[in-house]
């Protein structure tokens, strides 16, 4: 068989909710920082992927080229056409913004919010899944709520607007979003997915800063939003998961 050139690695994220923390980085050998991705390299002429390779955050920094194509960020379940349009729109608008430690493209967080909704049973609510890709564009880019409505419809626009905080400080932005979500409870599952994804990520990458910030906010977050939250078992499970994440830290 004639040898073929090396093909780009097939990339798949490790789930931040994965309870198996035994894997380490195959590049530098560290086990102190969980490996965030794995990729399978295709050898010349082999015609198949030949194994799994785990990479930690530090080594990932040296391989960011793998994330230049947002389609490499895989999701737990296949995305539909509406999601792919929303993902492309959000990826373009967030542009060079980074998430978490500053090494990951913002689409990584958007995919995790989307996957959290799927994890807790919201995979059939297409508007929620589309909103997961778009939930930060009004707050963090030049996109207006009117643009979202024109492109994706009224319910998606309402969901995104409800979780968008406006104000000159984080406290003001939180208060604004809490007020909107309380008036539009359909948006609470979206915010819960965002908060679960943020808590899981920051617990690994910024336990003393970002995770601690979310932990401090949790009491007020719960006190305001839980009374407006639905009795849907999926929503209850999301609250329970979030409570448990913060309860693990004393």
Domain architecture of the chain: domains with CATH: 1-68 (no CATH), 79-247 (1.10.3210.10)
**pLDDT at residue number 25:** 73
The two tokens of residue 140 are 């963090």
**pLDDT at residue number 178:** 97
For residue 204, is it left (φ>0), alpha (ψ between -120 and 50) or beta? Answer: alpha
Q: What is the pLDDT of residues 154-188, one digit of tens each?
A: 999 999 999 999 999 999 999 999 999 999 999 99
**pLDDT at residue number 89:** 93
Cβ neighbours for 49, distance < 8 A, ≥ 6 positions apart: 10, 40, 41, 42
pLDDT at 220 exceeding the cut of 90: yes
Check residues 224 and 48 and name the one with the higher pLDDT: 224
**pLDDT at residue number 48:** 41
> What percentage of the chain reaches a pLDDT higher than 90?
57
Q: Is the dihedral of CA 217, 126, 241, 98 positive or negative?
A: negative
| pTM value > 0.85 | no
Measured at the alpha carbon of residue 116, what is the angle toward residues 107 and 67, in degrees to the nearest 5?
25
Which phi and psi (to 5°) does residue 243 adopt?
-60, -40
Which phi and psi (to 5°) does residue 26 adopt?
-80, -10
Q: What is the pLDDT of residues 95-121, one digit of tens each?
A: 878 876 566 778 889 999 999 999 999
Strand order in 53-55's β-sheet?
10-13, 37-40, 53-55
Work out the number of other CB atoms within 10 angstroms of the CB of residue 165: 20
Q: What is the rounded average pLDDT of the residues 129-145?
A: 95
**pLDDT at residue number 13:** 52
- 14 — pLDDT class (breaks 50, 70, 90): low
């Amino acid at each position: 068989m004639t040898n073929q050139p090396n093909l780009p690695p097939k990339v798949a994220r490790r789930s931040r909710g994965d309870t198996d923390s035994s894997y380490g980085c195959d590049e530098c050998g560290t086990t102190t920082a969980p490996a965030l991705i794995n990729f399978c390299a295709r050898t010349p002429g082999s015609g198949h992927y030949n194994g799994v390779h785990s990479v930690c955050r530090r080594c990932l920094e040296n391989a960011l080229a793998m994330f230049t194509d947002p389609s490499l960020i895989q999701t737990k379940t296949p995305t539909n056409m509406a999601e792919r349009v929303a993902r492309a729109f959000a990826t373009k608008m967030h542009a060079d913004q980074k998430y978490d430690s500053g090494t990951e493209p913002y689409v990584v967080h958007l995919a995790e919010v989307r996957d959290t909704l799927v994890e807790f049973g919201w995979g059939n609510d297409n508007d929620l899944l589309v909103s997961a890709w778009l939930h930060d564009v009004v707050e963090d880019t030049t996109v207006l709520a009117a643009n979202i409505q024109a492109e994706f419809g009224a319910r998606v626009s309402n969901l995104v607007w409800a979780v968008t905080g406006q104000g000159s400080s984080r406290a003001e932005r939180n208060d604004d979003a809490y007020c909107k979500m309380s008036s539009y409870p359909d948006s609470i599952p979206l915010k819960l997915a965002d908060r679960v994804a943020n808590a899981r990520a920051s617990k690994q990458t910024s336990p003393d800063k970002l995770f601690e910030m979310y932990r401090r906010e949790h009491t007020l977050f719960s006190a305001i939003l839980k009374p407006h939250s639905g009795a849907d078992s999926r929503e209850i499970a999301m609250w329970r998961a979030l409570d448990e994440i913060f309860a693990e830290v004393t």
